[in-house]
Amino acid sequence: MFFSRFDPWPVFFRREWKRCWPFLTGFAVTGAIITKMTAGFTEEDLKNSKRNRLKKEQQKTSTERTLNNSKTLTKAYNGRQDDCCQAPKYTTPTAM
């Protein structure tokens, strides 16, 4: 005699679908809306987007800040490069 093995998947899916259908439906609807909204974008639209312009401005200001900081540090430490590699000079304490 051949006994068929019990298959738990139909029971599992039925039980889980009753609990999870609102979330799954919400994800499906949200994904469909986002896909519909973004499907018509072209490369030109993406280049001219506000987010892209803001990102370029931030990169520009960040680069300027980095350059200004390096210039300031160069001016501050100019002439002190030799001192950085030498041991500090200690003086002997004097009696008062």
Distance CA 17, CA 23 (A): 10
**What pLDDT, on a 0 to 100 scale, did the predictor assign at position 32?**
96
Query: How is residue 86 annotated by DSSP?
Result: S
pTM: 0.40
Q: What confidence tens digit (pLDDT) does each residue in 13-58 have?
A: 888 888 899 999 999 999 999 999 888 888 888 788 888 888 888 8
